[in-house]
Amino acid sequence: MKMKLSFLMILSVILVACGSDEEAPETGAPADPPEAIPETEDEEARAELMDDEGNSVGLVSFLRAPDGNLHVEASVNGLGPGFHGFHIHEAPACDHEHDEGAFTSAEGHYDQDGNSHGDHAGDMPALFVNEDGTAQMTFSFDRVTTEELIDETTVMVHADPDNYGHIPDRYQSDDQEEPGPDEESLSTGDAGDRVACGVVESPQ
């Protein structure tokens, strides 16, 4: 009985090995490369950032996101490391030799509703610059449209971090009677000097 079973097992192995002329598929064979995703021409506005000596230090692009919001991409180089205030300003001018200081021709933060800083339509997340002077940032927001921005506003990078007007009441300013944020904090977030500026324009 054992001999019969062994014979049948050997015979079945031989039949399986010889019963097909098809080659077994190679394992680990490289798959066909996926089709490249086509690039989309969806940039709606941009601002080339210039420093106070007229040198190009970066680019900010505004693109329409699938949800209808604005998708912002910033690429910057040649700035001091750390956090920098990053805003849209209300005038399309970047005069780095202005009598009142570099880029003051861009006026204040873009806003149509009389809000304090932190709630301005043009208030954006702080820009973090690495030790090598470069920064990359992407985000989406819904406070503005490109129709409002193009040829009407500027993008501004400030020298200091932005506190978004958040000064707790336990702090007392030297130049006001009440504790909490003073006028400077409520208008600029104490972000300091303006170190890079670019007029928002249609992409070329």
pLDDT digits (tens, 9 = 90+) for 112-130: 888 877 778 999 999 999 9
Rounded CA gap, 88 and 184, in Å? 17
Q: Provide the residue ranges of all domains of the chain, joining segments of one domain with +.
A: 43-199
What is the predicted pLDDT for the residue at 6?
Answer: 45
Q: What is the mean pLDDT of residues 94-116?
A: 87
Of 54-63, 71-80, 174-183, 194-203, give the lowest mean pLDDT range. Answer: 174-183
43-199: CATH homologous superfamily? Superoxide dismutase, copper/zinc binding domain (2.60.40.200)
**Residue in the structure block whose two tokens are 């928002």:** 200
**Single pTM value for the model:** 0.72
Residue 15 or 62, more confident: 62
Q: Which two tokens stand for residue 95?
A: 């005069």
CB 79 within 8 A of CB 55: no
- What percent of the chain stands above pLDDT 90? 50
